[in-house]
Structures are given as structure tokens and as C-alpha cells.
Amino acid sequence: MTIVARPAAAAPRAPAGRGRLGVVGQIAERRLADLRPELDALDAVDVRHRLATADPPRPFAQRLASPGLHLIAEIKRRSPSAGPIATGDEDVLARARAYQAGGAAAISVLCEPHWFGGSVADLEAVRAGVSVPVLAKEFVVDRRQLPLLRIAGADAVLLLAVLHGRAALARLAQEALDLGLEPLVEVRDDRELDAALATPARVIGINNRDLRTLDVDPERAARLHAAVPEDRLVIAESGVRDAATIRAWRALGIDAALVGEALVRSGSPGAAVRAFVEAGAPPTDPAESARVALVKICGITDVAGIEAAIRSDADAIGLNLVPGTPRALALEEAVDLARHARAIARQPGRPRIVAVTVDRSATQLGAIVRALDPDAIQLNGSEPPGLIAQLERPALKVLHLPPASDIANAPAPALAAELVARANAYLAAGAAQIFLDTSGGPHPGGTGRRADPALVAAVAREVPVVLAGGLEPGTVGDALRRSAAVAVDVASGTERPRQAGERPRKDPLKVALFIKRARAARLDRPNLPARPTPVDPGLVEADDRGRWGTRRQFGGRYVPETLMAALGELEREYGRVRHDPRFWAELRELLATFGGRPTPLYRADRLAASIVERVGAPLRLRLYLKREDLAHTGAHKINNALGQALLTRRLGKSRVIAETGAGQHGVATATACALLGLPCVVYMGAADIERQQPNVLRMGALGAEVRSVTSGSATLKDAINDAMRDWVTNVRTTHYVLGSAMGPHPYPTIVRDLQRRIGDEAAVQIVDVGGRLPDLALACVGGGSNAIGLLDRFIGEPAVRLAVAEAAGDGLATGRHAAALAGGSPGILHGARSMLLQDADGQVLEAHSASAGLDYPGVGPQIAALAAAGRLELATATDDDAFAAMALTAEREGILPALETAHAIAALPRLLSGREGSGRPYAEDVLVLLGFSGRGDKDLAAFGRWREAHA
Amino acid sequence: MTAAASAAMPEARPASAPDPSGPARIRSAFAAARAQGRVALVPYVVGGYPDPETSFAAALAAIDNGADLLEVGLPYSDPLADGATLQRASAAALQSGASFDAAVELVRQVTTARPDVPVVPMAYVNQIIGGGDGAPAARRLAAAGASGLIVADLTPDEGAEFERVAADAGLALVYLVAPTTPPERIRRIAARSTGFVYCVSLVGVTGARTRLAAGIGPLVRAVKAASPVPVGVGFGVSRPAHVRAIAKLGADGVIVASSLVDALGPDGRDVRSLGRLVRALREATG
């Protein structure tokens, strides 16, 4: 045997030799010197024998390919960077067992004696005492070390890219794989990563520590990970400070963290591991899970394939009944596989079993249904829409897209429109799902070709589609991020290399990894479309100039020049943050642990009964309140305040200002600033200070400075003016946390994005309990953050009617109101064009509402765009209506709504009776989602006065 | 004349109005001052403050004491670029009935009485463009004899359409640059500004200051170097000493607003005091 690599072997690449390699070079050289006598004395026959009788390897890669970030807990006695960590006589086995009990996916054991105090004996002891896979953290400098490590029990082995040339590294990785020893190729820069990716290794380690200098760069893993194809598993090593690091890595899609010192130093190893393991688990809250695409594993040909799909929790499996195709099953084979799948299913009905067919008659399909009892039938041929009505099971209709190369010159919009029309024809005929497949012929899958992403995105924007054809673990995540497909289907992309004459078979690791990548694709990316939105794009996204509306007639950025640079910077920084899953993961964690999310959905039956009485028509009203009043600080405002406080940190600004009307946004911002240690100034109209005393006191208690604004009407509008003047003056140090989905671009987008979680959560919750999306979603509107936060999710759902309740103050007819949509005209206020209460000269009129939060003469531009397009129905409630609704809700439900929220409740009877809104009648069984935006404690004094006056 | 009465009047340009376009009149006024070795003085009066007649008298006093151009502020309900002085004056003017019609009438009166001094109204975007394209407002101001227009919250990013409207009406459209404007953007703004470019001297709102902003020197020199049109410096420019300092920096004009409103006294009627301050400022121009 020859030495394939040693420190000196790297020398030709850099003549400095050991000096260039620094500490790692010294260790490697010493390791080689230590081991050489033993390696030279090895007997090949003996090695083969011991290999054959060694305990079989435990599945290391397979474990990492399950969802989430996994923890690899490391056992070491000391390290060159940290010195002695554990005492020499420490019971490594006890520690390894504690790590396993805490949920570690694998144990890493240092084998190097001089610098780390480890040994192969430690590895053997740990391997024998735990049931999880064990990684040999060894300095492999000679290929003959590999079989010895496998014999000692190692399931995976570390290969340091820095120690080997490209070819040698690839050979070592292949030899390890051949031994059943999973190679983990560790890199620390682009060049090493390039070399690692040229090996057959399935697992790449990115070390934040530079092994030459021992310096740690905690961003390295995040940076390099972006360059690793998603069909590899990635382990980040070193630099774990806390659970937040783990959470950020998980959000990025890193598969495992190798943690040593952070665990060793904690008093309770099991608890420390558990905290990290929890932080690595994928999020399960409703808003996140709603964006997860479903996965169908198609073309399963044997029991092992069925088991792989079920172990990885596939949503559906496909059994191919198309004679003459590579994955075709005889009907009896399919029946056996389906029976096996149902026998081992973890829960009834999951995975759904799909019979894949081409151009069969209704009679033939009937026979298949009787024999196989599939959950759905997939139609891969040129079946007419009329066939669907004759089927006894839900139909999945496949539309074949031409492959990208064939449509390069075709007009994409026309092609997309044609596909959408065909999809709609099948959906109208009763198809349950539409598949888009690139195979371009009657073959059900397996061509490995990819559809044109822009074409797919254009179709998926209009109709719900299952993306199929050419997907594999490395591409499925990207495909799902680039289109709003609701599910993915895969056949060849999850198979082993095919043997001649053999039917294709699934590779369990690829199946698991495909499902993991598909499920993770949109996690912590709340601003990626995850379902069709078949409406004008101007209703759901601003253009690059911040314009909304079907004619892009609202929004924009009308501010003094002094602010333009800051708005540009905010736009750029938010542009980076918007699709950075780390930001949203951090925010979600804060919202969950600090903010009280997700907020509950509550069915208010007694209030509903009172409302039905007022409607005076036979209705079965199911009224669900989305309880934002139960979020921390008592209103939805905390969603935006926490998000923008995190953004302030990213912007590098050291001071926060905010405006407030009812005081809820001021309290929320003061709270977020207290949490993050930012100084906070809140501008508040003198009139509002008067009527919202409790919130003024709360802001003070939270350490914020409340500045009274006496100009103009001394309410919200004037508070915004003064906040903007402060911002103009202190723009270099200060971030303005605007409280509503209004203002100059990009604020309407930022605030909407931060508030959309309300509707994202509510949609999942109401389908769970109500069985479908609501018939009507309703919120009160002032600036519009609560309204757009609730309604945004439903804009693209044609079956959901959207409505807002504006404050009518003393009554619309009196002119003393705050109804900018119902009673205003297009104009520009606070940086954006929208609907506005103004006179003929463009002077902004004072709004009038008892509710300080709605007492604003404008409204956000997206809301204005929705109203102008007829997508939003308008209703109003006077001050009296609102106070009465407040009393009613308190008495009937034991919930005291904010006066703002009470406007929505007050408007509901008129909307249901058709006296306001579009007037279109509702079905008798009506499901309503009402944004319960805040709690009413702050309004008690005003409520008391109203009640006295109306006693 | 009351606002209501003025609204009823026909709006043809006064016969005495100078012939060339607004931008040309503004350029000539700057050139004339330059020819005398001075910076141009651009005083500011709030239209309709404290009432239409007094604001007309203040405008004439400003011109007669040495204004090279005159800026007329259109009172606005939400003047978010303005500090306390102009906010108060604006609110008081609106309180006493100031309107767009009255502002147009004031411009007409001033340009009729003193046709040689270009008048440049300053407004907020909702007063001019609002939900439309701004053409009616631009045409009426031009017809009343205005030479240009400053819109405090309109930048070139949103101004393309209105640039054409203003040009068609014969009005200069004066954009603003600020200390926060990056160099490349200063160049673009100045290139699209007609008549002159308004250099905001400080990071903040309008209002009298005791001293000029630190950094004003490099700013003015940078804007001057980048601008094909004259550069007027405003915001916080209050005293003759400020004018002298800005003249030394090579600016083409100085714009003085809040300190003149302050000079009008608490009731806004001390026109003589305003005249004296304008005279003192004028003497500092060269």
C-alpha cells in the first residue's frame, strides 16, 4: 500500500508546505508519523476479514436527510483553540449517551491524541455504547486508515480537503463510500469546496474555523453553503454560540451542525443538546406549514420504494399502470404494493395512492379502481375533460409542457395562456389537480428534463399546479421558490443508477432528500408566492417604483429630497432581508416566544346570534375572530414593530422614532425597542394623548419618550408629520418605524409583509375548523396595516369576499368622518398617492372619529388599489355604531374589543344584509373571518362617557 | 382683494408680463446679479399670511428692498418639510382663508406690479399634482405670471410627467438637492432642474438658525460643480453674515424664508421690519 496523501503532498500547490497549512499541517504530519508503523504492519487479508465481521454501518447521511437541522455532538477532551476542555478521566461514554438522549443525530469522536486528547479507542467505546451513527473525527492522511476506522465502528469519516489534492480527495471519498463509511469532506473556502464537490461525497462540511490559523468566521458556513448544490448534505462546524445560530443555519437549509465546545462547557450536556436540537427543528406553525408544497413520489416499482416513501412521509405515491413504460407495473403488482403501503402507513390515508394511467376508457379505469382502490387517478394522456365526470375517484390531469429547448422561441405569454385555458377546462370538468409535466409525450415522467421556469411560474400564478418532470433533490427547492406550484411530483430524480434490464428503483436517500428539500423550500420565506394569485399583479405587489393598482396609479415616493437616500437605503436593505430566511426565522421565534403568536381563532357564536338578529334574514353565521388582541401589547401592531426593530439593527441605525394614533403602535414600538435596547421617541397628537392615556403611561413605563404634537388636528396625521420632520432632521442615525401599511415606498410593502402573518395563520386555522376558506374576510381600516395583514392572503382567492369597515365618525353625510375610501378622492399624503380626504385645493381635511387609530384622512396604497379595482367591498361604522358594538361584544362574548376593531363588528350586519358592500347576497350558511385587531382597555374612559350619555 | 373675488377674475397673463419663458426669466435674474458681482437674493413670503393684503405688501417690500427673485409659499395643511415658523404662518394663512385661487391672485398682483422680478411659488405636491398630472395648477400659475415652481416633496423620481407639464406651461421646475443626496444623484437632479436648483443647506426642516450647517462649504461647491443651472442655497439661511458666507462659497443665490416671517412679528404685519431685513440681506450679497 502506498500513501496517497500526506501533508507534504500538498506542498507542490504552495511551496511554503507546512507553514502554509499552519496548525493542521503540523497535526497531520504528526499523525502520519504516529500511524505509519501500524499501517505498514497491516495484513490485507486480516483487514478484509475484520471488515466483513464489523458491525454494519449505521445510516449517517440518511439521518441528516430527514427534515430540519440535526445536531452532531462532538466528544473531545481538549483542542488547540480552546485548550483543555474536559478532564482526562472523563467518562466519554456517559457524555455520548447524554448527547444521544438529548436528541443528537450522531456523535463525533476525536481520534487524534496529541492536540485533542482523543483516540480510536474512544471511538470504539462510544460506538459500542450508543445507537446513533458515529463520525470518526480523524486526520486521515493515509487511505489505510479508512478500513481501520470502519472496523473500529465508525459510520462516517472526516476528510479534510485542505490536506489532499483534488484527485486524492476524490479517491479517498470513493474508497470510504465503498467501505460503507460515509465521507464528510470538510472545506473552508471556495477552492476547497470546488474540490469537495468533485468527489462523490454526499456530505460536505463547512468549517467556520480556519484550521491553519484557528480563527473563526461565523458567516463562512452561511456564505459557502449558498454555493453547494442542494443534492449534497451540508454540515456547518464551529462557531455555534447559541440556539439562534442553529436556527439561522436551519433557515438557510444547512442540514446539520457539528457542535463541540458549546456543549462541553455547559453543565448539563443533555439539556444543552436538547436546546440545540429544538432550535434545529423545522417550524410547524400554521403560517409556515401553509406554504409547504406537497410531494408525490411516483413510479415506485418495489416494496423498498414504498418503504422509502413512507419512511420519508411522502404525501402521495404513484403506481404506474402504463404498459410499455420503464416503471410499468402489472395491475396485480400494483395491488400488492398498495396493500403493503396501507399496511405500513403511519396514519390512515397517508400517503395517498395514485394510479397513473394513459388514455384508458372509463370502463378500464373503473376496473383499476375496483382492483386497486386508489385515492386518485392520474390521467397522463390526451383524455378529454368529459372523462373526469365518469371517474369514481378524484382525477389528476397531466398537461405536458414542451421542454425548455423547444419553447425558447415560442411566445411565452401565449403558451402560458393556452396552458392556463386548458387547465381551467379540466378544473371546470372536475379535475382535482393539474400537473405540469415536461416529458412532452405520453411517458409518465422519468425524462429528467426541466420545464422553462418562467413559463411554469406564469401558469402556476393562475391555476394550482403540481410541478412534475425533471425534478431531483438538487433542483426541487429552486423550482418551488421560482413558482407558486402547490405540489411536486418526482420519478427518475429519486432513483438509483439504473442497471441494464432492471426496472428503475428508488434510492431511499434521494427520496428523503427530495422530500426534505421540497418541504424546506419556502420555510421562513413568507414573501414567496406559494399558491396561485389569479388577479392583476398591481393588487398584490408594488412595482419597482412602489406603485400599486391595476394602472399603477397609487403609491410612489413623494418626500423631501433629504429623505430619498434613507428610503433608497431602506429599500435596498429590505430587498436583502425580504427573502433572507434568517431574518424571518429570527422574527418568527421572537413572535412565538415574545409576541404570543400564533394568535387563536375564536368562534363567537353568541355574538354571531346577535348579528343574525340584526340582519333579519335566515342565516347560519359562523363568525370567527382572529384574536390579534391576544398578541403581546394587545394588538396586531407588535408584528410590525418587532420586524422593523430587527430591521433597524440591520440598517445599523441606533435610534427609533414612531408615530402613534391610538397608542397601540407606539406601545408596540416602545416594547420592541425595550427588548432590543434601542432608544425610542414616539410622536402622538395632543388630542390622542388626551383620549388614550393608558397607552401614554405604558410607553413611558417602557422607556420611550412621548412627544406631544399640537399642530393641525393634533391627531395621527400630525403625529406622522412631526415624525417625518424628526426623520428629515436625524435621518443619518434614525429609523422611522412607520406603523401602518402606508407612507412612501417601500413602507407599504414592508408593513404588509410584516402583517401578512395574520391572514396566513387565519387561513390555515379557519380551514381546520370551518372546513373551507371564509366567504367573507373583514377588518377595520385606518391606515390599513391590520386590514391588509388579514386580507392579503385572500386577494387571490376568488371565493373569498374582502371587506373593510371605515370610521364614519358622526356619519358620512355630516362630512365629519374618516372614510378616505368611501368619501375621499385620489391625492398624495405622507409620501404616497392614495385615497384622501381633501378639499378642491388639495388641502388635507381633518378626519373625525372617536377611534384614534382610525382617525386618519388617508389609507394605504394597496388598500386603495384593491378598492379601486372592486376587489374590496366598503362598509362604514359611525362612532355610535362602534361603541354599541364594543358593548355588545363585551356582553355577549366576554371580550372587550378596541374601538377600532368594534367598527368591523358594527359593519358586519350591514354587509351580510347587503345594505353595504357590493350588495351581492351571501349563502345561508356563511363563514366569516373578522380581524379582531386589538383589545379595548385603552378605550374604557371614552366608552364610559359614551355609555353615560346613552344611558 | 379677497380669494373669492379673485377666483372670479379671468386668468389671461397680465399685459405687462415679460415675454420670455419662466426658466429664461429666472436665468436672467441670476445672471444680472452675477454681473453685479453678487449672489441673487431670493426672499420668501407666505401667500395670504397673515391676510392677502399684507402678504402682497410684504412681497412688494421684499422686492423693493432688493429681491432678485421672489419665492411665494402656498400655505399647506401638512407642510412636513417646514419647521415651526413656516408651519405656524401656513396654518394662520389657511385659517384666514388662504386658497389656491388667492395664491394665484397674489402672484398676478406681484408680477403685474413688479414685472422685472421673477416669482417662483413653492408648494407641496398634493396642491399641484394630487390625483392628476398638475396641468391645471401649472397653467394657472404660469398665466398669473409665475416663472417657476418649487415642489417641496417632489423629486425627479416622481417628477417626469410633471416636468413635461411645467415645460408646456412655460414654468421652470426647481428640484431640490440635500446634504444626504449622493454625488451622482446631485448631478442627475441638477440636470433635470430648470431655472435653478435649490440646495438645501442642512439635514432638517426649514427654520431660522444662528449658524450655517457644518459641511455647507463642500456641499455648495459640489452642487455648483455638478449643476448646469444656477444654485440657490436655502434652509436655515437667516442673517446677512450667512449670505456673505454663502456668496463666498460660489453659490448663485440665497433663499431666506423663516427669518423673514419672524421679522413680520407675532401678528405677521410688521412689513417695515421685513423690508429692513431684506435690505440688510441684500447688502450682504456682494
Largest interatomic CA distance in chain A = 102
3-state secondary structure of B157: helix
Q: What is the pLDDT of residue A832?
A: 98
pLDDT of residue A14: 36
Q: For residue A546, what is its C-alpha cell?
A: 412602489
Query: Once rounded to an integer, what is the mean pLDDT over residues A70-98?
Result: 81
Cα–Cα–Cα angle for B44, B48, B54, rounded to 5 degrees: 85
Q: What mean pLDDT is predicted for residues B236-249?
A: 96
d(CA A190, CA A654): 35
Q: Is the pLDDT of residue A228 over 50?
A: yes
pLDDT at A499: 85
pLDDT of residue A400: 86
Which three three-digit cell numbers place residue A850? 372617536
Q: Provide mean pLDDT across the span B156-178.
A: 97
Considering only CB atoms, which chain A residues are within 8 Å of B192?
Answer: none
Give pLDDT, residue A501: 83
Question: Residues of A numbered 712-731 whose beta carbons fall under 8 angstroms of chain B's beta carbons: which are they?
Answer: 712, 717-718, 721, 724-725, 728-731
What's the angle, vertex CA A115, arms to CA A112 and CA A118, rounded to 5? 35
Q: What is the distance, to the nearest Å, from the Cα of residue A894 to the centroid of all Cα atoms in its chain?
A: 35
* Chain A residues inside the 8 Å CB shell of B94: 843
Residue-wise pLDDT for A787-829, tens only, equals 999 999 999 999 999 999 999 999 999 999 999 999 999 999 9
CB contact under 8 A, A561 and B83: no
Residues 6+ apart with CB under 8 A from A805: A778, A779, A780, A781, A875, A876, A877, A903, A904, A906, A907
8 Å CB contact of B203 and A728: yes
The identity of residue A775, as a single letter, is D
Determine contact: A843 vs chain B, CB below 8 A.
yes
- Residue A492 pLDDT > 60: yes
Q: What is the pLDDT of residues B48-85, one digit of tens each?
A: 999 999 999 999 999 999 999 999 999 999 999 999 99
Residues of chain A with Cβ-Cβ distance to B99 below 8 Å are 841
Among all residues of chain A, which has the CA nearest to that of B186? A561
Handedness of CA B284, B39, B71, A721 (dihedral sign): negative
Looking at CA atoms only, how far is residue B114 from chain A in angstroms?
A: 27
Angstroms from B226 CA to nearest CA on chain A? 17
Alpha carbon of B203 to those of A15, A255, A563: distances in Å? 56, 48, 9
Q: Which residue has the higher pLDDT, A58 or A711?
A: A58
Burial A452-466 (b: 16+ CB within 10 A, else e): beebbbbbbbbbbbb
Question: pLDDT band for position B29 (50/70/90)?
Answer: very high
* Residue in A643, A567, A468, A580 with CA at minimum distance from that of residue A223: A580
Q: Which residues have C-beta within 8 Å of that of residue A551, sequence separation ≥ 6? A: A538
- Residue B215's CB is within 10 A of a number of other CB atoms, namely 12
Q: Give the residue from chain A lying closest to B128, CA to CA.
A: A842
Q: What does the alpha-carbon distance between residue A287 and residue A842 come to, in Å, rounded to a whole number?
A: 41
Cross-chain Cβ contact B83/A556 below 8 Å: no
When the pLDDT of each residue in chain A is averaged and rounded to a whole number, the result is 93
State the pLDDT at residue A214: 80
> B249 CB contacts (<8 Å, ≥6 apart)?
B216, B217, B220, B221, B224, B233
**Residue A428: other Cβ atoms inside 10 A:** 10
The number of residues in chain B equals: 286
A745 at interface of B, judged by CB pairs closer than 8 A: no
Q: What is the pLDDT of residue A218?
A: 80
CA distance B151 to chain A (A): 9
Is B175 close to A561, i.e. CB distance below 8 A? yes
Residue B203 near residue B213 (C-beta atoms within 8 A): yes
- For residues B268-280, one letter each, b for 16 or more C-beta atoms within 10 angstroms of the residue's C-beta and e for the rest, the string is bbbbeebbebbbe
pLDDT class of B119 with cuts at 50, 70, 90? very high
Give the per-residue pLDDT at B5. 41
Q: Which of A763, A748, A832 is nearest to A797 (CA)?
A: A763
pLDDT band at B20 (very low <50, low <70, confident <90, very high): confident
- Kindly state whether B130 is in contact with chain A, defined as any CB-CB distance less than 8 angstroms: yes
* Residue A674 falls in which region: left (phi positive, over 0), alpha (psi -120 to 50) or beta: alpha
**Partner residue opposite A829 with nearest CB, options B126, B129, B179:** B126
pLDDT at residue A354 tops 90: yes
Alpha helices in B65-205 (DSSP H): 84-95, 100-113, 125-128, 135-143, 156-169, 183-192
- What the block records as the C-alpha cell of B196 is 435653478
Average pLDDT value for chain B: 93
Among B78, B126, B129, select the one facing A712 at the smallest CB separation: B78
Q: Average the pLDDT over B196-225 and give the result.
A: 95
Asked if A254 and A235 count as a contact pair (C-beta separation under 8 A), the reply is yes
Phi, psi of B164 (to 5 degrees): -65, -40
